Structure 1
């Protein structure tokens, strides 16, 4: 694999930065992940950190050097992150105020990209200056029904799902899309995308290397929001086809050994988790998946 990547996060005008992001890769697979801890709930930054650590740990366990089933990995990783946040909070089944976070993650493998998201952190896929994909937020604003308009006043910040809530998370899983040389993949928090329309993001992301496009977009978002700026976080990847000249600061994985793993995601200890919190319990993950599938079936059965 050959790609260039850039990541950055700014606290903006908030008291603390509750966004977390990072990427990791093996010789044949790459993971890009971002989480936005939800304000108004305790320990949002902890929920975000647990989420990206859990997804990264599962990737390291399974990508040897690539994933057997990318879609299965993404679904399992999101549910494992949700489970670990609840574990940190002490499994508060009926709690109204627990650590919560959004999550968006993308895997690049076999020249294709697949992704999953829960909440309103977004992924953009840009080819040239054309927007191929933009994830749809799990917010009442994106639903745009008259009942939601009346009830919520079209407040984009109101989400109907996230990781860490007592209810099971709703998520969207998409891909794979075959990548072409120069395709850009952007994961960002709402502190960035809320300052631009989709066309503006696609224009700047498609016309600049990610190492200059991302600092420009982040800086512009901070300037537009001023002192009221939210945390602004982004991680972006530019895909390069085999044989093409690598971009500045590009990464080439061809010489990596099968067991080698590189990551920008640093593990942090949390008092609410035991010392082995990075060791994922497959049985727990399977039970959570079964619960979600059962809930989906019950919902479908109630529809006329």
Structure 2
């Protein structure tokens, strides 16, 4: 289960727009890999070229020895694709949708019940798709991509337009898909999503890859200070400045904001001073990495 993906020099131009510019990376077997970046970064175009839905102007893609642009039926049975905009057959129930998708792949109808349970839609099996919530529709869309039990799954913005709770619920499903041994490639513009789910991420902007590494390594390379927040009036600004390891002290939206690269030392002193009311601790994030690499604020 799981296949390796090699991408080399992919480029795509629309008129004068260089949507994807010499993109290269490798996804290992069983890896959860994320293409992370703002809208318009080139993530979806890159993914569509890897899936074989678009033919690149330049570059190559290899999925387990197959070229997806060849539309080889053997490869089609090994990959599952969940598009950014899902489309379902009209007036069919969730069960009928999966039966229909399964039939296209020659899958026995018995697969549907197990798959509905896997994506948490057993109770909605006989509901028409138009009556499902946004999160349930995304789960059904992912189920359709899994109906033939593929080794590689491509997910394009699977949690876009979902509320925060539905998004986090869907994360559990995505982890399960990868835990079964499948290679998963995800595009997202949610920094937190990439940090939570991905083994490695490629940060994209303006059609190019800026960095590729694990989320943890990218954040560590930034060496961003930890920020400790305190409730108003808990500690005087001058007193906070006098604590060993404190780099700077500012007024935050909810009280005092302390920057440090030695959070353990500072927190120990705050505890000794009985000054932990309203405590919050924020470390560097992928959003900080994006800002450092591009010199501007991240835009979703």
- TM-score with structure 2 setting the length: 0.23
Based on CA coordinates, which of the two structures has the bigger radius of gyration? Answer: 2
**Which structure carries more relative contact order (alpha carbon 8 Å, separation 6+)?**
1
